[in-house]
A = this chain, B = another copy of it.
Amino acid sequence: MTARKKLENELTKEMIIHEAHRHFIAHDYSKVSMREIAKELGCTHGAIYYHFKNKADLFYAVVEHYFNELNLILSECVFQEGNPTEKARNVLIEFIKFGLDHQSQYNYMFMKQDEEIDPLRQNASIESLHQFTKTIQKLYNEQLPNEEIFYIFVSMHGFVSHYAGRVENFEEAREAAERFTQYLIRALEKY
């Protein structure tokens, strides 16, 4: 059976995700309504429910992209120039940069605890921690205790979640982030 030809203005999941994304980066989950999104897509909100089972489902489809993006960023840090220390610090910086440049997403990826959303997101967020640990281990020839890396992760997470909402983007917290990552790496290497 050949795939049915899309009508002129037929809705696709991608179109919906794209539009939803625009709204979720601008406003909190609870402030974004399915009707708003539908309006801008030129359809009724009922149509969205044909493609996504509910609001949380649509939201997760949006956030999933960000997990992929973050994992990519982290894994690419290894191939940049510099010694292990510099590279490791860069991993931290990039993580923080991601967190502060995509605050709403970060919020949902790592912070928000909401039954409505959580089951879907749990795995992806653990996966990201794994990715982070693996990356750092590689830089230090697997010599560090995983626990020590976990401490770094947790602390870095604290930095992001503290500055989120207080600054608009990473740039505004760059200096603080640089000092903080220096502090973290120092602690790591003094171990």
Contacts and interface: CB of A to CB of B under 8 A. Distances in A.
A165 to B, nearest CB: 4
Interface string A98-113: 0000010001001101
A161 B158 contact: yes
A contacts with B: majority SS = helix
A153 B187 CA distance: 15
A39 interface: no
Contacts of A162: 110, 153-154, 157
Contacts of A110: 162
A90 to B, nearest CB: 19
Contact of A159 (B115, B158, B165, B183): B158
Contact of A164 (B30, B113, B153, B190): B113
Contacts of A165: 113, 118
Contact of A190 (B103, B151, B161, B190): B190
A91 interface: no
Nearest to A164: B113
Contact of A107 (B30, B113, B190): B113
Q: With a 10 A CB-CB cut-off, give which of A107, A115, A157 has the most chain B CB atoms.
A: A157
Given A113-B164, A154-B162, A186-B187, 10 more contacts: A107-B113, A151-B155, A151-B183, A154-B159, A154-B180, A155-B159, A156-B158, A158-B161, A161-B161, A183-B187
